[in-house]
Amino acid sequence: MPILGLDLGRNTIRAVELNRKKDQIVVVKYNAYQNPKLNLESDAKDDVEMYGESLGEFIADAGFSTPYVVTGLDETYVYMRIVKLPPMNDRELKSSINYEAEQYIPLPLSEVNLSYQKLDVDYADKGKVNIQLVAARKNILDKYINIIKKAKLIPRAIEPETIALGRALGDTPEAPAGSIIVDMGYSRSIIIITYAGFVRFTRSVQIGGDVMSKSIQQTLGLDYNQADEYKKVYGLDKNQVDGKIYNVLKPIFDNLTEEIRRASIFFTKQYPNANIKRVILTGGTAQMPGLLLYMANNLDLEVEIANPFRFVSVVPKVSTPPAPKITDEAPIYSTAFGLALKEV
Ligand SMILES: Nc1ncnc2c1ncn2[C@@H]1O[C@H](COP(=O)(O)OP(=O)(O)OP(=O)(O)O)[C@@H](O)[C@H]1O
Ligand SMILES: [Mg+2]
């Protein structure tokens, strides 16, 4: 059955429709929609209504063929922790999970929707079991469901965007190899570490494309749109504009690489066998010229730009002008792709 993965951003919506044909996963359609008037962060009734209506129009115009959607929840509304518990049966686990959640979730349990999943057993540590706890704010879930229904779509699942990214880009249980995914968006970057097919670490840092454009704007005295354009065209290319853009961006990326290094060290202490070798860059900022080279030179790890479509057959995007090569903009569809993959 075809499934639509929906990545709802503050004012940008991205959707990927996947279907399964025998053993193959096919990308049926993908498209994005942007409207600066939208504001997903607002709880005002009018804003929620407008978001839902715009979503509905986007889906209808693009011609997606299914109403069944899996939606991603913004990192900021979700608490995820891995807890290690002694071996116990499902009933015992169920009855002790609230107690565990109370220790780790910084919100009253009455305000969240709590779910948990057994990941795997650590035989080196008395057979303890790794449990992934996920708590999402109830009021936010209600808002998302409201928006989805307003758009005449049918929610199949809602999950943290970090889990969708892990599914789309991370390692697998069959070929465990610790992988760091860095989703570099507009307002923030999220560092996600997967190992043996599960997301086990996430950290959000306030470094995103917006800060980069603003720094260029201030340093070079440009207006924002111009600065944003310079960033996208020249990025980390030292040879452009006397290295002026490069010089503004370099310290920002140095902060980010430092955070990545710290996350990697922290994680490796907990999972000495994870053997992290790979960093995958995704999100809008991952398309920056010169970024791959810069990160590869500054991290002692293999670095690649995300292409969630790498293993699937792809039908071109819906658009009137000729569709760009899919790999050019693949990184902005990683989340929506991972979401659809959950249920397809
Ligand atoms: N070619 C490019 N080079 C550099 N930056 C780019 C390029 N294309 C887009 N960006 C930047 O990517 C950012 C948007 O990224 P993305 O679309 O992943 O964010 P978002 O999902 O809307 O927001 P967030 O993830 O922060 O909630 C913007 O700051 C934009 O300027
Ligand atoms: Mg995003």
pLDDT in tens, 61-80: 999 999 999 999 998 899 99
User: Residue with the nearest Cα to atom 6 of ligand 1?
Assistant: 285
Q: Is the pLDDT of residue 84 over 80?
A: yes
319 found inside a domain: yes
> If you measure from the C-alpha of residue 233 to the centroid of ligand 2, how many angstroms do you get, rounded to a whole number?
21
- Is there a domain that residue 240 lies in? no
Tell whether the model's pLDDT for residue 321 goes beyond 50: no
Q: What is the pLDDT of residue 311?
A: 77
- In this prediction, residue 181 has a pLDDT band, given cuts at 50, 70 and 90, of very high
Q: Is the pLDDT of residue 326 over 80?
A: no
Question: What length does the chain have?
Answer: 344
Question: Can you tell me whether residue 114 is helix, strand or coil?
Answer: strand
Ligand 1 centroid vs 185 CA: distance in angstroms? 5
Q: Measure CA of the first residue to CA of the last residue in the chain; give whole Å.
A: 6
In this prediction, residue 124 carries a pLDDT of 82
Atom of ligand 1 nearest to the CA of 282: 18
pLDDT on residue 325: 53
Residue 177 lies in a domain: yes
What local confidence, expressed as pLDDT, does residue 317 receive?
57
Q: Which ligand is nearest to the CA of 284?
A: 1
Which amino acid is located at 338 in the chain? G
* Residue owning the nearest CA to atom 12 of ligand 1: 284
Domain hosting residue 161, numbered range: 3-214+245-343
Please indicate, yes or no, if residue 228 is contained in any of the structural domains.
Answer: no
Q: What confidence score (pLDDT) does residue 322 get?
A: 44
Instruction: Over range 98-108, report the average pLDDT.
Output: 91
Q: Which atom of ligand 1 is nearest to the CA of 212?
A: 29
* Per-residue pLDDT, 178: 97
pLDDT value, residue 97: 92
**Residue 288: CATH number of its domain:** 3.30.420.40
As beta bridge partners, residue 92 has none
Task: Look at residue 318 and tell me if it is in a domain.
Answer: yes
Residue nearest to atom 5 of ligand 1 (CA): 285
Q: Average pLDDT, stretch 83-93?
A: 91
Q: Counting atoms of ligand 1 from 1, which one is nearest the CA of 7?
A: 21
Q: Which of 12, 47, 46 is nearest to 31 (CA)?
A: 12
Query: Residue 201 and residue 214: Cα distance in Å, rounded?
Result: 29
| Residue 288 predicted with pLDDT over 80 | yes
Per-residue pLDDT at 313: 72
The amino acid present at 325, given as its one-letter code, is K
Q: What is the pLDDT of residue 250?
A: 98
pLDDT tens, position by position, 225-265: 999 999 999 999 999 999 999 999 999 999 999 999 999 99
- How close is the Cα of 17 to the center of ligand 1, in Å? 21
pLDDT tier, 324 (very low <50, low <70, confident <90, very high otherwise): very low
Number of domains in the chain: 1
Whether residue 320 is predicted with pLDDT greater than 80 in this model: the reply is: no
| Protein residues whose CB sits closer than 6 Å to any atom of ligand 1 | 9-10, 12, 185-188, 208-210, 213, 228, 231-232, 235, 283-285, 287-288, 332
pTM of the model: 0.94
Using left for φ > 0, alpha for ψ between -120 and 50, and beta otherwise, residue 275 falls in left
Could you tell me the distance, in angstroms and rounded to a whole number, from the CA of residue 252 to the centre of ligand 1?
Answer: 15
Atom of ligand 1 nearest to the CA of 335: 21
* Residue 250 covered by a domain: yes
Q: Has residue 300 got a pLDDT over 70?
A: yes
* Cα(204) to centroid(ligand 2), Å: 12
Q: List C-alpha distances in Å: 259 to 190, 200, 216, 245, 264.
A: 10, 16, 22, 22, 9
Q: Tell me how far the alpha carbon of residue 37 is from its chain's centroid.
A: 23
Question: Residue 185: which of 109, 282, 103 has the closest Cα?
Answer: 282
The per-residue DSSP string of 29-71 comes to EEEEEE-TT--TT---HHHHHHHHHHHHHHHHHHT-S--EEEE
Measured CA to CA, the distance from residue 234 to residue 244 in angstroms comes to 10
Ligand with smallest separation from the Cα of 38 = 1
Q: How far, in Å, CA of 65 to CA of 295, rounded? A: 39
Assess whether pLDDT exceeds 50 at residue 28.
yes
Torsion of CA 309, 207, 142, 119, to 10 degrees: 60
Average pLDDT taken over every residue of the chain: 92
pLDDT the model gives residue 123: 85
Closest-lying ligand to the alpha carbon of 210? Answer: 1
Query: Lowest-confidence range among 78-87, 213-222, 281-290?
Result: 78-87
Given ligand 1 and candidates 16, 215, 217, 232, which is best to mutate, with the most ligand atoms within 8 Å of its CB?
Answer: 232
Is 318 a residue whose pLDDT tops 70? no
- Residue having the nearest C-alpha atom to atom 31 of ligand 1: 209
Position in ligand 1 atom list of the atom nearest CA 184 = 18
In a domain, 220, yes or no: no
In a domain, 195, yes or no: yes
